[in-house]
Structure formats: C-alpha cells, structure tokens
A and B are shown apart, each in its own frame.
Chain A
Amino acid sequence: MAEAIRVLETELPRDIECTLREVAGKEEGLAAEVLGMILANVDCAREGLVPMCQDTGSLIFFLSSGRCSPVHRDAIEGGIRMATDSVPLRANTVQPFTRENEGNNLGRGNPIIHFEHDPSLGEDIVLGIMAKGAGSENVGRGYMLEPDLGLPGIRDAVLETVSKAGGKPCPPIILGVGIGGTAEVAYLLSKKALMRRLDAATDDPQADALERDLMKSVNELGIGPMGLGGRHTALGVRVEWAHCHTASLPVAVSIGCWALRRVTAEWRGEAFRVVR
C-alpha cells in the first residue's frame, strides 16, 4: 500500500505527462517557460523519488471488490501511516474546528474510502487512489440547477467555475464534471471522472460531445498555465453522469491541477501490482 502511495506521489501518470509535453510544444513565451519548469519538476520528482508537489494532498480511495471487509480499511490506514513517514507525505489532515494537526494524515472520517461492490472481482481488490491538492479542491463547485436550464446551464456552470478559479488551481487543469444523481452523487461522479485517463475516451456519445465542447470553450478562456495567459487552460475534460430526479439537475465540477495524481493498485490472488 505504501508503495502504491509512493508511485502516486512521485510519478505523474503517463497520459498526463504526454499531454503536458504536447501542450508545452504549442505554447510560447512565459507560458512555455512555466510549462518547461513544470516538466523539469516531473523529471526531478521521478528521478529523485520525491513528491512532485509539497501538497501531497488528501488521499481518496476508490475500492472495488466482491467482498468489502473492515480489513481493507485497516490496511489503507496502515498504508497511510507508513507512507507518511516513508514517502514522505506532508501532514495535511487537521481537525476542522481547532485546526489541530496530529501529524499522521488520519482522524475522524479518514481515510476517505468509496467502496464499490463488484461481485465479478470475488476476493480480488482494485484500488484507485487519488492525491487531491487543496489548491484545486478549494475551487471546485456544486450546482443544483433547475432542469429547464438544460445543457446550456451545465455548460455555463462549468465555465463559471473555471473562470472564477483562474490561476488558483495550478492550470493547465483537468476537469471532472459529474451530472445527475443527487448533490453528493454528482460530486462523487466528478471525482470518478478525474480517475479516467486522458487517453481513454468515453463510449458514451453524449458525454463525449460535452467533453469536446467544454474542452474547446475552456481553452478559449485564455487563463493559461498558472493563470498567466496562454492557449491551454485544460489538459482534458471528463464527464460522468447518472439519472436524477425530474425536478433536479445536479452538476458538480471538480478541478484537478496539472499534477493530478492518480494510480490503481490491484491485488489479484497473491499478486500485487501498481498499474501506472
């Protein structure tokens, strides 16, 4: 578990790195210079085995298995304890009222684990892990739109979120948009959307059309790398959806910084592997 967290924090997912390199070649001036430093940082972290960003984030776990057991929670908790010391991770978790920091990245309601029962996995476990920095998490937004606003309303909500976020979430960003369900489902979908790779297109034509449309519109905002202007504000847009109440249109927008750290660890039988 601690090994998966080390990979998560020190190696930028290849699909994101490739997209960053592609984008860097198309920018000029200050935007190109900033992207050059970001790419140097990616190399530096991978070669030096150190976290690419000092904000090692809130760790979010997406656990799928045919069998959900308290053992899983204990193993994740143990992994966080170990990784905090060995990777190392910054002690980010505080008590919200007193802001007290116990230094172990644990506390009430943590670790954050979303269980998904998948009988096809049997005893095997597939564990998605995301390290979510606060700079980008702080500027995500949720909307309970009225249904008559429809698709244009969804579009406006996303563009408003990105415009207000400006340079704060460390653009070029990756957008996760969750549509439908109830308020908390829309948010969860927006996080799951961020887990989908940039080179894995959706097989859903409606989501695909919205992703392409939003990608174009977001880049037209001109926010650019670190908000200093440029042609690329987003590296990708990912949309996930669920059916919702006839009177509701929940929309949640989660923003991933350029350093969107996600990894999948699998335990199949006796074998463990980190899928890079």
Chain B
Amino acid sequence: MCGDAMEPEVHRLGTRLSEAEARELRVGDRVFLTGELLTMRDMAHVRALEALRSGERLPFSLEGRVIYHCGPLVKGERVVSAGPTTSMRMERSEPELIRKSGLRGMVGKGGMGEGTRTALMECGAVYMEYPGGAGALAARATRGVKGVFWRELGDPEAVWVIAVEDFGPCFVSMDSNGETLRNVRNRK
C-alpha cells in the first residue's frame, strides 16, 4: 500500500545496524526493533554535537545505533510511558549528528526535513515513525531502563538506555534512497 504498490516488508532487527542493513530499508516498510534504544531529544542533541565538534568522546557510542526521539516517563527502572516526540525540533542538529556520530537510525514522529533526508542518503541511515501519543502501548514493548546519561539535563532530556523487544511497528518514513513516506503517498 506504500511505495510503488508493493506490499510493505516487515523487518525484525536489532538496535545496532550495519550500513547494509540500514540501506536495505525502504519507505513504508515496517520495522520491529529488539535490543537497546538510546533516547535523545532537544538538549541531548545540542550537548552531543558540542562534544563531537570539540573532538570529545561521548559517554555512549552512537556508532551503528538507533536513537529514539523520546523523553520517556520513567519510574525507577520501569518505563511507564514512552512514545515519540516531534522529530522536527531536532532538524537543526540531526544532519550533523548523523554525519559525525555514525548513528544508523532514528525513531520519532511527524517527519523530518531536507537536511536529514540528505544526510541519511549520504551516510546510509534511516528515519522511522511510531504513532505519536501512543506512550502506553510503546512502553509495553520495553524491558526496563539499562542506564542513563546526562540526567542533569532533567529527566525528559536525559539519554536513557531502554531495553526493547519487538518494538514496533516503526514505519520507515525516510530511507537512504532519499524517498520519504509523505512524498510517496502524495504522488499516489
């Protein structure tokens, strides 16, 4: 129903992706993720870029990782509610973060911009969407907090390491061929 009248493919993937795995994903595909997602939103993007620009290492590696645009509601080690936040707020930082960190995927909502689309093509990475507001449903696919970085940014802005099992479906919204789900659907 998306793409060129092709049935969307369903992929069950880990949260460390190779470039080849990321490049295989097509707009409209459904992805279920198992592993550990790193949450990163507004302030974590700013802070990560500041560090990378000055040649510092991050306290966590983003190489091959999938980040989640999310400020989770966490109680102790339990993830109570954890849907995506509006990705477009990260558009100023994301293209540079993709190029400098080696991350392979983002999960968010609402779509991203031209800068991200170009960076995804260049580096071989993918942007996926999960329905916004569906925090309770998303939390059901989580398996607890495995760590947290930069908590001084405040809980919503910190980088949480969240274990997930079959987290999805995440809809591939921008692939490494420069296609976007919204453009494909508008062409139909």
| Residues of A near any B CB (own CB < 8 A) | 29-30, 33-34, 37-38, 40-41, 44-45, 48, 50-56, 88-92, 94, 99-101, 103, 133-135, 138, 166-168, 170, 225-229, 257-259
Complex: A45 Cα to B28 Cα, angstroms: 27
B123 to A: closest C-beta gap in Å: 24
> Which applies to chain A's interface (DSSP): helix, strand, loop or mixed?
loop
- The contact sample of 9 A-B pairs, CB cut-off 8 A, is A41-B133, A44-B140, A45-B81, A52-B136, A90-B81, A90-B156, A99-B154, A168-B110, A226-B129
B86 touches A135 (CB 8 A): yes
B154 touches A41 (CB 8 A): no
In the complex formed, the residue of A with least CB distance to B30 is A33
User: Number of residue pairs across A and B with beta carbons under 8 Å?
Assistant: 142
B73 touches A166 (CB 8 A): no
Complex: A45 Cα to B140 Cα, angstroms: 10
> Contacts A51-B80, A227-B110 given: A259-B133 contact, CB under 8 Å?
yes
Complex: A199 Cα to B43 Cα, angstroms: 40
In the assembled complex, B82 has its CB within 8 A of some CB on chain A: yes
B2 touches A30 (CB 8 A): yes
In the assembled complex, B95 has its CB within 8 A of some CB on chain A: no
B83 touches A53 (CB 8 A): yes
B133 touches A100 (CB 8 A): no
Q: 12 more A-B contacts (CB under 8 A) besides A30-B171, A170-B133? A: A29-B1, A30-B28, A51-B135, A51-B136, A52-B134, A56-B73, A90-B155, A90-B156, A94-B154, A101-B156, A103-B155, A167-B111
In the assembled complex, B53 has its CB within 8 A of some CB on chain A: no
Complex: A135 Cα to B182 Cα, angstroms: 19
